[in-house]
Copies of this chain bind each other. A is one copy, B any other.
Amino acid sequence: MGPQLSASIMPLISADHPGVTDLFAVLAYGEISAFYRLGHEAQQSPSLRGKVALAKMAAAEMNHFVTLEHALAERGVDVFDAMAPFVRALDAYHASTDPSTWLESMVKAYVGDGIAADFYREIAAALAPPVAATVRDVLAETVHSQFAVAEVRRSVAANRQERDRLTLWGRRLLGEAITQAQYVMAQRDELTDLVITATGDLNNIAALFDRMQISHAARMAVLGLG
């Protein structure tokens, strides 16, 4: 069983696959844009506790950014050059999902980050160990997101209208995330090759999106939505 076992645990994607740079770069710009989104949305917080909770989430994003900046530097790549191709798609995602209320912000912080994390964790499973470790490191769940869960659950428990409204909002977040992910894949051949290699083939990508939809529904349920 030696050779077969080795083959099954051998990562599909080596650390020098050119798509790895793209992967780190899109994650890095994701952290930056999440940082500014959280800082901006915190203005709507009804309390100082809410502001601080969002500020902690934002600071965690920047700590992750620094990890990615170093990982890219080790590959001889400047993070700003590498991020440039992804600015448009991520900015478009945030512009198309700009929360109009505090609760929409909370749902986006919890559900939006979860969608991205699902996608990247699946890819990580096929990556060479040091690359996979960096990806998992920057996706580490923080306790801060529990604040978002508590805020939303409390507010929707006794308010059916709010619950319905936020359920639709959650669906829109998933739709916009998939739209922008597809846009990025269409633009970046090396990243697309990495994702297809990681998942096996195009059918498996469809299966991946199905799994993401199931995880999304589970997260919505945690929030008391859906």
Give CA–CA (A62, B32) in the complex, Å: 16
Q: Is A24 an interface residue (CB 8 A)?
A: no
Identify which of A52, A65, A66, A80 gathers the most chain B CB atoms within 10 Å of its CB: A52
A62 → chain B closest CB, angstroms:
3
User: Is there an interface contact between A36 and B39, defined as CB atoms closer than 8 Å?
Assistant: yes
Query: Which residues of B are found within 8 Å of A59, using beta-carbon distances?
Result: 35, 58-59, 61-63
Instruction: Give the residues from 39 to 63 in chain A that come closer than 8 angstroms, CB to CB, to chain B.
Output: 39-40, 42, 48-49, 51-52, 55-56, 58-59, 61-63
Q: Is A217 an interface residue (CB 8 A)?
A: no
Give CA–CA (A87, B48) in the complex, Å: 10
Q: Is A83 an interface residue (CB 8 A)?
A: yes
User: Is there an interface contact between B58 and A62, defined as CB atoms closer than 8 Å?
Assistant: yes
Give CA–CA (A56, B48) in the complex, Å: 22
User: Is there an interface contact between B56 and A32, defined as CB atoms closer than 8 Å?
Assistant: no
Query: Which residues of B are found within 8 Å of A39, using beta-carbon distances?
Result: 35-36, 39-40, 42, 58
User: What are the interface flags for A102-127 relative to B under an 8 Å C-beta threshold, 1 for contact and 0 otherwise?
Assistant: 00000000000000000000000000
User: Is there an interface contact between B58 and A32, defined as CB atoms closer than 8 Å?
Assistant: no
